Amino acid sequence: MGEAKNRRDYENELRDAGIRITRARKTILKILEEGEKHPDAMEIFRRASEIDATVSLSTVYRTMKILEDRGAIQRHVFEGGPSRFEPAGGTHHDHLIDTDTGEVVEFRSDKIEALQEEIARSLGYEIVSHRLELYVRKIGRRRG
Amino acid sequence: MGEAKNRRDYENELRDAGIRITRARKTILKILEEGEKHPDAMEIFRRASEIDATVSLSTVYRTMKILEDRGAIQRHVFEGGPSRFEPAGGTHHDHLIDTDTGEVVEFRSDKIEALQEEIARSLGYEIVSHRLELYVRKIGRRRG
DNA sequence: CTGTATGCAAAATGTTTGCATACAC
DNA sequence: GTGTATGCAAACATTTTGCATACAG
């Protein structure tokens, strides 16, 4: 039916790594686990505040940094917007961003991946990372 | 031998559009016309300052905005860095960024372009714009 | 108890803007 | 002359950080 929910267990992941599970972190992690994918920091903060009004934006950022450093989430900076975070660990994919709604759709093309490798290699480079984003609008939608 | 220089004439382009050619603008435009491609605002500002110490960073940004609005340059925000500007108008291309040096190489792949179109269409979207960046390092270079 | 995590406020970054003055046309 | 462009400083949006306090383990 809908988009598959993110079914990670960040809490145990961090606990196992010896990182303290505080009330703020518990709240933030639950939001990441249960919410839609690709929220930005303010969105996470807003939702966290509803559950626990004492959570601060700093802590949201700090928690994102911990998760990012541990490779548990990825940070994306789409054009003209703040960083958005997504659970990492699945297969690599690229993004298609609906410019009208901000909605993000993930896609993957092995052909494109292969072509990228080929291009980099032919220029004497190896790829460290890459980013492919398609900014799109629904076919047939009226211009704003 | 080296990379082809940017041979535009921004000054006449703007004059023809009824935009005043001031001393600051003349300086900034010359830098864009003669300098390497893909400078950021501070780089342009630094070079402008050497020629005319009264030029301000605000004016650099404002001039970039004018050029961008007119489609004369394109703004790129590569990962972790400030906006970088490049002369527009050539054929579309993507970018390969050397993560060690910050150097930018342009490339183009009709195959990738076609695949992108195909992917977007198959998902019910039309592409408004896109961005493909390969972050790379020279093959064989030692890790820092 | 000890050291890590927190909230807050302030700093850092990159960019834009309000305003009074300067200058291109 | 007239209105656009400028420099400056302040505002801006996002993210990071210093510090004293709180709290997880």
What tens digit of pLDDT does each residue of B38-91 get?
999 999 999 999 999 999 999 999 999 999 999 999 999 999 999 999 999 888
Residue B7 has pLDDT above 70, yes or no: no
Bigger pLDDT: A41 vs B37: A41
pLDDT number for residue A141: 75
Interface of A with B in 87-126 (CB under 8 A): 96, 98-99, 105, 107, 109, 111-112, 115-116, 119-121, 123-126
Q: Provide DSSP, chain A.
A: --PPP----HHHHHHHTT----HHHHHHHHHHHHS-SS-BHHHHHHHHHHH-TT--HHHHHHHHHHHHHTTSEEEEE-TTS-EEEEE--S---EEEEETTT--EEEE--HHHHHHHHHHHHHTTEEEEEEEEEEEEEETTPPP-
* Torsion angles phi and psi, residue A4, rounded to 5: -60, 135
CB contact under 8 A, A138 and B121: no
Which parts of the protein come within 7 Å of strand C, by CB position? A 19-20, 22, 24-25, 54-56, 58-59, 62-63; B 15, 20-23, 40-41, 57-58, 61-62, 64-65, 77, 81-83
With pLDDT > 70 as the criterion, what percentage of chain A qualifies?
93
**Mean per-residue pLDDT over chain B, rounded:** 92
Confidence of residue A35 (pLDDT cuts 50, 70, 90): confident
> B53 vs chain A: nearest CA distance in angstroms?
31
C8 closest protein residue (CA to C1'): A56
In this complex, the residue with its CA at the shortest distance from the C1' of nucleotide D17 is A58
CB–CB contact A131 B126 (8 Å): no
pLDDT-derived band at A89, boundaries 50, 70, 90: confident
* A96 compared with B91, residue with greater pLDDT: A96
- Option in A77, A120, A139 nearest B134 (CB): A120
For residue B115, what pLDDT is reported?
98
- Per-residue confidence (pLDDT) for residue B141, from 0 to 100: 74
Quick check: A87 and A29 in contact, CB under 8 A?
A: no
Output the distance from A106 CA to D18 C1' rounded to whole Å. Answer: 39
The pLDDT assigned to B89 comes to 80
